[in-house]
């Protein structure tokens, strides 16, 4: 079939196979699925794809994807204006937000410091964060806590260290997500680094 495939089918399989989590097999399965569905259904998806690129901008305050600026979270009156949760990417924001456990504001850095990849402080939305904090203070709505919700990669660690340094003069507390055992695992399956962190972060039972 490879050689005899209609060009449109080849092209769609090729494009789908490049998507994260998909390969040639799943791309082929999806393509055959689309061929078997109503044209309107496939058009809807095509339009949704274009719409997501046309309609979505960035919030100039938190730098998350948003339909309008400021985004619904930054402009919401139900959120706790005293907390800013700092995340690396909009994807991380999605994860924290969908947990439903956090009611404060966010700030998307747009990545993590990585000297190797040539990503320095100026490449991230760090100055914006400082400005946000100062602006909030000047409006007498001071930020009381910055929650560093970054990953546990080396880059994320150094980003945290850098942020703590930049924020140390501010009149607020800086917290970090706890490191420790993920839920529902036996100790025997926990790697040494995680166990070390779990011990460091141990607290009174």
Q: Which residues bind a copy of itself (CB under 8 A)?
A: 1-2, 4, 6-9, 11-12, 15-16, 19-21, 26, 28-35, 39, 42-56, 65-67, 71-73, 76, 89-91, 93-94, 97-98
Q: How far is the CB of 151 from a copy of itself (least distance, A)?
A: 15
Q: How far is the CB of 70 from a copy of itself (least distance, A)?
A: 12
Instruction: Compare residues 32 and 185 and give the one whose CB is closer to a copy of itself.
Output: 32
Instruction: Compare residues 21 and 192 and give the one whose CB is closer to a copy of itself.
Output: 21
Residue 204 pairs in a beta bridge with: none
Assess contact for 49 and 110: CB atoms under 8 A: no
d(CA 89, CA 188): 32
Assess contact for 107 and 87: CB atoms under 8 A: yes
* Sequence-distant (≥ 6) Cβ neighbours of residue 187 within 8 angstroms: 181, 195
Instruction: Compare residues 111 and 121 and give the one whose CB is closer to a copy of itself.
Output: 111
Q: How far is the CB of 23 from a copy of itself (least distance, A)?
A: 11
Tokens found for residue 85: 């949760």
Question: Would the CA dihedral through 92, 150, 97, 79 be positive or negative?
Answer: negative
Assess contact for 109 and 124: CB atoms under 8 A: yes
Instruction: Compare residues 66 and 160 and give the one whose CB is closer to a copy of itself.
Output: 66
Q: How far is the CB of 60 from a copy of itself (least distance, A)?
A: 15
Tokens found for residue 95: 């994860």
Tokens found for residue 2: 């490879």
Q: How far is the CB of 86 from a copy of itself (least distance, A)?
A: 16
Instruction: Compare residues 76 and 152 and give the one whose CB is closer to a copy of itself.
Output: 76
């Amino acid at each position: 079939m490879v050689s005899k495939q209609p060009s449109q089918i080849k092209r769609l399989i090729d494009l789908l196979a490049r998507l994260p989590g998909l390969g040639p097999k799943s791309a082929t399965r999806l393509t055959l699925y689309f061929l078997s569905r109503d044209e309107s259904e496939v058009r809807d998806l095509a339009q949704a794809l274009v719409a997501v690129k046309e309609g979505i901008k960035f919030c100039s305050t938190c730098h998350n994807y948003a339909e309008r600026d400021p985004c619904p979270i930054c402009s919401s009156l139900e959120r706790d204006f005293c907390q800013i949760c700092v995340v690396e990417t909009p994807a991380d924001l999605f994860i924290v937000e969908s947990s439903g456990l956090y009611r404060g504001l966010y700030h998307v850095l747009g990545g993590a410091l990585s000297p190797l990849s040539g990503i320095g402080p100026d490449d991230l939305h760090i100055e914006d964060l400082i400005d946000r904090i100062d602006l909030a203070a000047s409006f007498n709505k001071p930020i009381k806590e910055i929650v560093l919700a970054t990953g546990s990669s080396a880059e994320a660690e150094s980003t945290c260290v850098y942020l703590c340094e930049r924020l140390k003069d501010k009149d607020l507390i800086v917290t970090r997500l706890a490191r420790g055992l993920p839920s529902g695992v036996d100790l025997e399956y926990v790697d040494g680094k995680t166990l070390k962190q779990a011990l460091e972060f141990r607290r009174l039972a």
